[in-house]
Each structure stands twice: as structure tokens, then as C-alpha cells.
Amino acid sequence: MTNSRISGLYNLPLDERRTKVADSADFPPEGLTPFTTGGLSPEAADHMIENAIGLYSLPLGIGLNFQVNGRDVLVPMTLEEPSVVAGASFMAKLARAGGGFQATTSAPEMIGQMQLLDVDDIPSARLKIYEHKSELLAEADAIDPVLKKFGGGARDLEVRIIEDSPIGAFLVVHLIYDVRDAMGANAVNTACERLAPRIEAITGGRVHLRILSNLADRRIARVRCVIPVKELAFETVGLVPATGDHEGRPYVYTGERVRDGIIEAYAFAASDPYRAATHNKGIMNGVDAVVIATGNDWRAIEAGAHAYAARSGRYTSLSTWGRDADGNLVGTLEMPMAVGIVGGATKVHPAAQAAVKLMGVKTASELAEIIVSVGLAQNMAALRALATEGIQRGHMTLHARQVAIAAGASRELVEKVAAQMVAEKVVRIDRAEEILKGMK
């Protein structure tokens, strides 16, 4: 059983951190080896893409304190941006005090699209396809016996008329396919390509595109958390927003003030697409980090997320924030989540395999539930910072470390150089270089 609460992890050296994480997840320490090397060999990369000449690494951190549907989970997060892992971990701690994250998923149904052109009579062609629906579904169902064995397969067929396009009206056939624990692109694309000649024969038309839709709005993950209002209170030293006074006086943010500030920030995103894009980017900071760590297709997740955010015709927030009858903060997030734990890079990338194993997920749905929990936690971390001290304060120390490294600080000097820049409130590479020179 994993215990996701590890205090002081940040202060340990890297190798001790790995040991601690393995211990806390009841996981063999050698299971984390792929994270020390990045996992992928150049030879393996050569089999994945064309013209491979090497590898490209990103940091992998562990999201702490997560409890999803009553189960503790240590969450591998791959990304280059400072503050995200710390922010998500801190918010997961607050959410934990309210029972953690409650998450669900719909059936793992993907949509395959077939664009049907050159039919004589669009309404009749549409009905003819419906008349042959059961045989088309039976044919699609037989395509992937492995998926079928695990309970997946063709589920439904829908025929839409696109009335208004640059080439006039045409038909689109949607094949709904349950892909179980796969991301599903291969299964769905194969099924569409296989059905296309049958649809042409039935309608006398020409099937043009045959491809999965990334607007996976039948494969939705949902998550909810309640943050007890008292958990939101904190004291800070520094800028006092009411007066603009920077002179290092203590300032107490009450839980109610933080809660209301988060709800006001959400209202901005809910009603303005310019803000919604940034708000959703904060959610994707958490979502993509886990999607990448598990070898999943983050472009597909991004495309689905933003298309879903615009499904009403107006781009808006993917999450909501409000208060319950007891005055606690309540957050929700709902978005398409087409991730798999079998096949693709998840199968061949040793670090992705290690990430899936560390979380102990047995199904793609479980993985999706963890991913949306991290997205919601990360969204709250950003809103809390923005609604109180502003985003730069938390960023500054982490950013200062990166600047110190960029200026050439050795491992031993990074913290010192960063601390001095933060104290001076001058976080710039030229200043880091000067400080380093002074130290040498």
C-alpha cells in the first residue's frame, strides 16, 4: 500500500529521494532505475521515430499527498517548469484534508470519423447507412480480437450531416469504439479504414478521410475535491495587497478570503476566453506532466481538452470552483482523457512503464482519474497564488535556481547563488555570473 505523504522529500539528495519514494510505494528500488537514466536507449529511439539521432531528456518529479478515490498514489510528473510539482503536491495535501479527490470515468469509447463525399442524395445515403448498422458494427467488432477478448469493440454508429462547408454539404459517419485500456488510435483508424469500402458500396459515395477524432467527448474523466475552508488560511511576509506595502510585514490570508479569491478567479476564466486559455494551461501543466511520464500522446490530450472547452461555441474554463453549504471550497474538472496503459510508447518506454507501475494503476480509467486529479490540484495551486500573493513570489526561488545553473553554478553553489539573488530580488543571469565570480 502506497503512502503518498512523504515529509522532507525535497531536502534529501536525489538517490535518497528515490529510495524514500520506492519505500513509500512498496516498490522495488530497482523499479525506479529507468528514471536515473531517462529510460530510453538511442537504439530503442531509432525504432520509434524516423531519422533518430539521439535522445532528449526532461526532469521527472513526484507529486506527493495525492489520494484518489481513497487510494494513496505517488504521481510521476515529467516537465521542465518549476513550481508545478510543488504546487500540485501542496494542493493535494489540502484536498486530502477534505477526503482527497473523487474521480470517475465514462466508458473508454473513442470516435472514428469517415468523411463521405459524392453521394447523390445525402438524406437517403444517411438512412441507408443506418439500415446496415448492425452488419457494419459486426464487421468493425471482428477487427481486433484482442480488444474484443478484453470486452472492447464497436459500440455504435452515427451519421451526421455537415450542412455548411467550403465544398458544400456532406456526410460524416462516426464509429464509436470501446478501446478498453488502449489509447485507441490504432484500433479506431484500422476499423475506419476497413469499413470505408462497405460504406461506399452501401451509399455509392466516396469515403475520403478515415481517422479518429481527438475530441474524445465520449471518453470523459471527472474529478471533484472539497477543501475545508480553514485549510486555506495562511500567513505570509512581504507584499500587503491592500496597501502595496513591500516592507516585510506579516499578513494573514483567512481561509474565506482565499476561497473567495479562487472563486473570483474562476469566474474570470468562466466568462473570458483570454483568461480561460491561461487558466486551462495551468490545468494542463498538471495533466500533461503525467501524460508525458506515462508515455501517452499529450498532443491528443491537449487537442481534446481545448476542443472540449469550446464545445458550447464559446471557449471557457474546464474546471469550476464554488463553495458548499459549510463554506468549504469545492473544485471540479471534466475533460476528455484518451490515455492508455497498453501499446504505443507506454509499452516500449522503460520510464513510462516504471511510471505506470509506480502508481499501481491496472486500467486506463484509473490512470485517467489520477491525471484529472493532478490537473485540478495544479489549477488550484495557480489560482491560489494568483488570488493572493501573485505568481512570481513562489516562482522566484525556483526560477533563481535555474538561472544559477544557467550561469554555470556547480551543484554545491546553486542554492547559495539562488538565495542571494532572491534576497536581492534580482534574478538575472548577469547577476548570477557576478555572484559566482565573487564566490570563486
Least distance in Å: CB of 265 to ligand MEV?
7
d(CA 309, CA 313): 9
Is 20 one of the catalytic residues? Answer: no
Of the candidate residues 24, 67, 285, 319, the single one contacting ligand MEV (CB under 6 A):
285
Binding mask 214-253 for ligand MEV (x = CB under 6 A): ----------------------------------------
CA geometry: angle at 281 spanning 276 and 282, to 5°?
Answer: 100
Residue pointed to by grid coordinates 468523411: 115
- The residue with its CB nearest to ligand MEV is 282
Q: Does 271 bind ligand MEV (CB under 6 A)?
A: no
Assess whether 395 carries a catalytic annotation. Answer: yes
Q: Which is nearer to ligand MEV, 129 or 292 (CB)?
A: 292
Closer of 285 and 420 to ligand MEV (Cβ) = 285
Burial 389-423 (b: 16+ CB within 10 A, else e): beeeebbbbbbbbbbbbebebeeebbeebbebbbe
Residues that bind ligand MEV (rule: CB under 6 A) add up to a total of 10
Contacts with ligand MEV, 341-380, as mask; x by CB under 6 A: ----------------------------------------
Who contacts 83 (Cβ-Cβ below 8 Å, separation ≥6)?
Answer: 381, 394, 395, 398
281 catalytic residue (yes or no): yes
* Contact between 382 and ligand MEV per CB under 6 A: yes
Q: List Cα–Cα distances, 204 to 114, 115, 127, 135, 157, in angstroms.
A: 14, 13, 13, 17, 18
Catalytic residue among 72, 288, 297, 369: 297
Indicate which residue of 256, 395, 416, 433 is catalytic. 395
- Told to judge if 178 belongs to the known catalytic residues of this protein, a careful annotator would answer no
Q: How far is the CB of 87 from ligand MEV (least distance, A)?
A: 9
Q: Does 62 bind ligand MEV (CB under 6 A)?
A: no
Taking the complex as a whole, the smallest distance from the CB of residue 84 to ligand MEV amounts, in Å, to: 7
- 80 to 109: interface string for ligand MEV, x by CB under 6 A: -x----------------------------
* Binding of ligand MEV by 279 (CB under 6 A): yes
Q: Which three cell numbers stand for residue 312?
A: 458550447
Quote the distance between the C-alpha of residue 213 and its chain's center.
18
**Under the criterion CB under 6 A, does residue 281 sit at the interface with ligand MEV?**
yes
Residue 233, CB half-sphere, CA atoms under 13 Å: how many?
Answer: 7
Give 66 or 321: the residue with its C-beta nearer to ligand MEV. Answer: 321
Given the complex with ligand MEV, which of 363 and 397 has the nearer CB atom?
Answer: 397
The residue behind cell 484500422 is 190
Binding of residue 392 to ligand MEV (CB under 6 A)? no
Nearer to ligand MEV among residue 269 and residue 435 (C-beta): 269
From the CB of 404, what's the least distance to ligand MEV, in Å? 21
In this structure, what C-alpha cell is assigned to residue 221? 474523466
Of 52-60, 103-111, 381-389, 399-407, which segment contacts ligand MEV by CB under 6 A? 381-389
Residues forming the site for ligand MEV (CB under 6 A) = 81, 278-279, 281-282, 285, 382-383, 386, 391
Which residues are marked as active site? 81, 281, 297, 395
